[in-house]
Structure 1
């Protein structure tokens, strides 16, 4: 596992994985803006025999218009959301190909399919992630075989999902309703997500799990929206 966490949070995450049946679990905290840190982490993972499955889920966001956006925010969002995924993929995919089996699932966004105002770097990073994933899918499509499972690279285009990354937007919208969070969420979703229901992270995880199964060997280069009809409009 990889993420940003203090010692107690990292320990709890590892214990949860062990309790769920993992024979071994380890936590890594590489800064996804730091190429050297990513390379060290990937080298450590090679000591375990290399990755069979890579899920690029690290992501940050800050809303600002093109005119108001500062370069530091641009660099950070592109660095974590796009460049970080590039570096994990470039280091993992060749080794997956040698084994004949590998899965890359990149957690993109509806903002890798359609745009929204005040999300310049986020949309740029997610559109870039989708494009990069399609190229990687083509480059590794013929690696391995049906029996081994082959190599696939896919994106999940999630809509409004109950994660910390949407909290600033929820808080800002709730302020219109005297701080009522539920009304703020409803107001956000009414604009773009026809189902007017958020997704739970576990629902995104269930799709990722299916994409990683051997039966999905011919599903590659796709972007699967989980967006309540947002991108169907």
Structure 2
């Protein structure tokens, strides 16, 4: 069992979805969770209580608009005062599908800011401290679309390709930090394919109506052209992979981009 007692993990966008599942997995190993996201007070309280119940050493919510570098600075400073970041999971992301010709400039700027630039800013704060401590984990949630192209998603695909490249550079720069005994400092990406979050529920329900109401058949039909297994992943599966990457024994796993995509990128 991974033991992260005494470690502090900041997971951006962790009030729900994949981010919450990752925070929950880290909490189950005893980590202190710096919760972050855009949510109402009731949602924050519910997520905090669930993480405490999962085994978190402590939970505290930290606000911060990831489109604003100065707010990221304030976020990282506040978490540093709370104990500092041993584990950083850059999960928060936004999306706006549109053809390149029709993509609003504001949407491009916002998606690049949240999905890519914010990870650079958080890593710039966290990595030197991790190196000083001899232990640190950065897990960047990219996407299968960080490994392939996809129409009508230019800023999203660009950002996700970019975060994989950024992670490789950071992994190389910090490869000699720490040791096997301390756990070292690693930087990796997870690249989910179709994952069953609230974002895809409307697509599943719409397809189910078209093919007669069978939800499993709707998922298989929806995934047929992309994900060979025709099965979605559950957010908890992404959480468990992130937990393994944060284990001190994973000291030599760095600079990777691991797909969880049912064979999508194997085609």
TM over 0.5: yes
Residue 186 (structure 1) aligns with: 220
1:198 matches 2:219: no
SS, match of residue 67 in structure 1 = helix
The alignment's TM-score, normalised by the length of structure 2, stands at 0.82
Aligned-residue Cα RMSD (Å) equals 1.7
8 Å Cα contact 2:219-2:231 kept in structure 1: no
Residue 36 (structure 2) aligns with: 2
1:15 matches 2:49: yes
* Structure 2 unmatched runs, 5+: 1-34
8 Å Cα contact 1:108-1:126 kept in structure 2: yes
1:231 matches 2:261: no
Q: 1:213 aligns with which of 218, 243, 247?
A: 247
* Structure 1 unmatched runs, 5+: none
Residue 207 (structure 2) aligns with: 174
Alpha-carbon separation, structure 2, partners of 1:41 and 1:180: 45
Change (3 A) 1:51 1:109: same
User: What is the CA-CA distance between 1:106 and the residue it aligns to?
Assistant: 0.4
Residue 94 (structure 1) aligns with: 128
CA distances 1:168-187 after superposition (whole Å, capped 9, x unpaired): 6546x638717958355333
8 Å Cα contact 2:207-2:222 kept in structure 1: no
Change (3 A) 1:170 1:36: farther
SS, match of residue 102 in structure 1 = strand
Change (3 A) 1:169 1:156: same
Alpha-carbon separation, structure 2, partners of 1:179 and 1:96: 53
User: What is the CA-CA distance between 1:69 and the residue it aligns to?
Assistant: 0.8
1:41 matches 2:75: yes
Change (3 A) 1:138 1:101: same
Number of corresponding residues: 232
